[in-house]
Amino acid sequence: MDKIGDLLSELSIPINIRRENTPSSSDRTGSGQTAPIPTEDDEGRTQRPQDREGARKSQADEVCHQCHGAGWLRIDAPVGDPRFGKLYPCVCRTNATEQSNLDDLYRLSNLDAFAHKVFLNFDPEVSGSGEGYDAAVEFATQPEGWLLLLGGFGTGKTHLAAAIANHVVQDHRMQVYFAVAPDLLHYLRAAYAPTRDTSYDERFEQIRSVYLLVIDDLGAEQSTPWAVEKLYQIFNYRYNNRLPTVITSNSDLDSLDPRIRSRVCDPDLCRHVLMLGTDYRMRKMDPRFVKGQGTGARGQIRGQRNSRP
């Protein structure tokens, strides 16, 4: 069988199909439209999803010089040749299909709200974040085992976890599922609703067996017996099958279910990184609201009352 590369070198005759009748990935509208993956432009700057979508539409408006917008080509073969009359996809159509598949992976990853969380805009020079950054980049390059990012609020754990997920979808073309722990459980509970579009078993299987699972803020969920059991089942399945998993938490590990804690603490599988940086949100605050009596606006108001004659 001829290789597609050899065939494409011979393809020169576009079939007679009008461009407006040939759908492309940029023609999708409505509920079927998917969010594009974040990436970088030629100068290394992060492209926001809407910028990249606009660039794709602009490129789609240019008629392919090989197929003239038809999307298909046929070989100029004589009658009797096995390839006579056969159609082959043009490279422009192949690229559009690959992009469509990538967008579908991104849509299923639940990363829409974290599209801007990439390694490019994370500052590893901030005190306490260097080790976490290095560990996240290493894991994203070769997703194996588990990675646990521990630290207080605002130390960059979620940013790094989302950056790993975005990188795995973009560069490895593998399916990812990203969820904050309480939202993950809510997503499973919603499968019991009468109006559900998928069954509970389907959702549960999707989460526990996905190539890369990222659970953000483990320990923030309500510890009901049902929630604890579901989380244990997910962790246990991924532990037994050694599936790549990223976990972030600002909770004491002793507060976790002992069965989950035992698996997360396995040094042969899980790498632990403690992020000791200060809360980046507080660093951006006006100093007047973070100093003095108490913290935040409440402390400032109390201080003003105490200073009255």
CATH number, position 168: 3.40.50.300
Whether residue 183 is contained in a domain is answered as: yes
Residues 145 and 251 in one domain: yes
pLDDT of residue 55 exceeding 50: no
- In 3D space, the residue among 184, 189, 167, 165 whose CA is nearest the CA of residue 176 turns out to be 165
What confidence category does residue 2 fall into, taking pLDDT thresholds of 50, 70 and 90? low
Q: Are residues 143 and 95 in the same domain?
A: no
The answer as to whether 297 is a domain residue is no
Report if residue 302 sits inside a domain. no
Which pLDDT does position 83 carry in this prediction? 66
Which residue in this structure is represented by tokens 């919603």? 190
Sorted by sequence, the CB contacts under 8 Å of residue 89 that are 6+ apart come out as 71, 72, 73, 97
Q: Is there a single domain that holds both residue 133 and residue 230?
A: yes
CA 241 to chain centre: 22
Contacts of residue 194, Cβ cutoff 8 Å, sequence gap at least 6: none
Contact between 48 and 38 (Cβ < 8 Å): yes
Phi, psi of 250, rounded to the nearest 5 degrees: -115, 15
- Domain boundary, last residue among 44, 79, 108: 108
pLDDT digits (tens, 9 = 90+) for 214-233: 999 999 988 899 999 999 99
Structural domain containing residue 102:
4-108
* Mean pLDDT confidence for 15-22: 38
Q: What share of the chain is helix, strand, coil (3-state, %, to 5)?
A: 50, 15, 40
User: Distance (Å, rounded) from C-alpha 103 to C-alpha 220?
Assistant: 30
Residue 87, in any domain of the structure: yes
Reported as a pLDDT band with limits 50, 70 and 90, residue 89 is: low
How much is the pTM? 0.63
Domain total in the chain: 2
- 102 and 135 in one domain? no
User: What is the pLDDT of the chain when averaged over all its residues?
Assistant: 75
170 and 104 in one domain? no
* Average pLDDT estimate for 247-273: 95
Dist CA 309 CA 292 (whole Å) = 19
In a shared domain, residues 67 and 91: yes
Of the ranges 100-104, 155-159, 168-172, which one carries the lowest mean pLDDT score? 100-104
List the one residue out of 149, 136, 229 whose CA is nearest residue 189.
Answer: 229
Q: Write out the two tokens for 234.
A: 């997910």
137 and 270 co-located in one domain: yes
40 within a domain of the structure (yes/no)? yes
Residue 299 — very low, low, confident or very high, per pLDDT cuts 50/70/90?
Answer: very low
Would residue 298 count as lying in a domain?
Answer: no
In a domain, 114, yes or no: no
Task: Report yes or no on 289 lying in a domain.
Answer: no
Are residues 228 and 152 both part of a single domain? yes
